[in-house]
Amino acid sequence: MIFSPQWHALGREAELAAEQLATGVTQLGRANHAQKGLYLQAFFALSIGLERLAKLVLVADHAINNGGAWMDDATLKKVGHDIDALLRASEAVGLSLGLQEAWGARPSSPIHAAIIGNLTDFAKLSRYYNLASLSGGKASQLPEPIQRWWNEVATPILALHGGGRRAMARRDQVAAFAVPLEGVSVVIHHAEGGLPIRSVEAMMQQAQSAPVVQRYGRLYVMQIIRWLSTILVELASKGAYQHRLEAFLALPEPFALFRNDDTYLLGRKRWSCYRLGH
């Protein structure tokens, strides 16, 4: 069977969006105070992936509502690059579909909102922060992206998910290892929030917090991706089987991996739309 150029175009765009998102959550699950470049890789990939996925939702919805006519260049440019605005537009599409499943409702906790705010500003301007801070450019007036993420996303995650027996065990471990090394070691480092790390104990505490931030940061981002993917899959089904738009058959497959429950999202560390298993 020979598929149309539109099928191929949607398929390529879907794979691009899905793989950017997969790369982003993989890197976010690895980022820590000693490897800050991984945070920035995650922010780039996630901001691109969310924009492209949301635009696929809007393009698909437009075609369904306009007899299979695709959104023209001028209209697509007006959509812009504002991730928050794109997600609000996608939310309206989802509501119009009357999705019944739990994943069809937009995740709306303060942590989800902070993630969207961070990625929106990163996509629009603060991705240039490092170079702008050298030249005094406009982006340098914004909060440094990693510090902002730590303060607005990671810190609330630690407050919500960083307690319990495991936290007590981590504190005991830090005390056992750090005390003998104090006074005979020098530590010069900086935490994600920008504060200097000057002791073995502080360095170990920061390192111990990383797995919680990595795991749950990935989960909250994945919940947003899962919601958008659910809208797109529903549109693809409606377009292909109710409106006989063959090109829509290319949309669902790259996003199938994201449509799993929270237990799966928490447990999986490496993501790719080309590798469905662990």
pLDDT for 169-218, tens place per residue? 556 565 555 555 565 555 666 778 777 766 666 677 777 888 999 999 99
Is residue 274 domain-resident?
A: no
Residue 17 neighbours by CB distance under 10 Å: 27
Under the banding of pLDDT at 50, 70 and 90, the label for residue 137 is: confident
pTM: 0.91
Tens-place pLDDT, residues 77-95:
888 889 999 999 999 999 9
Considering only residues 115 and 74, tell me which one the structure prediction assigns the higher pLDDT. 115
The pLDDT of 68-85, averaged and rounded, is 90
Is residue 171 domain-resident?
A: no
Is residue 161 domain-resident?
A: no
Is residue 106 domain-resident?
A: yes
Is residue 164 domain-resident?
A: no
The confidence score (pLDDT) of residue 261 equals 96
Strand partners, 196: 190
Into how many domains does the chain fold? 1
In angstroms, rounded to a whole number, what is the distance separating the alpha carbons of residues 166 and 79?
Answer: 46
Is residue 150 domain-resident?
A: no
Under the banding of pLDDT at 50, 70 and 90, the label for residue 260 is: very high
In angstroms, rounded to a whole number, what is the distance separating the alpha carbons of residues 71 and 101?
Answer: 28
Buried b (16+ CB within 10 A) or exposed e, 145-167: bbbbbbbbbbbbbbeebbeeeee
Under the banding of pLDDT at 50, 70 and 90, the label for residue 275 is: confident
Under the banding of pLDDT at 50, 70 and 90, the label for residue 241 is: very high
Q: Which helix (H) or strand (E) holds 43?
A: helix 37-65
Under the banding of pLDDT at 50, 70 and 90, the label for residue 62 is: very high
Among 36-50, 143-157, 201-215, 242-256, where is mean pLDDT lowest?
201-215
Query: 41 near 151, Cβ under 8 Å?
Result: no
The confidence score (pLDDT) of residue 100 equals 82
Is residue 169 domain-resident?
A: no
The confidence score (pLDDT) of residue 73 equals 86
Tens-place pLDDT, residues 216-238:
999 999 999 999 999 999 999 99
Structure tokens at 22: 């997969």
Return the closest-CA partner of residue 61 out of 52, 53, 70.
Answer: 70
Is residue 63 domain-resident?
A: yes
Angle between helices 200-237 and 83-97 (to 10 degrees): 40
Q: Name the residue range of residue 9's domain.
A: 5-142+220-267
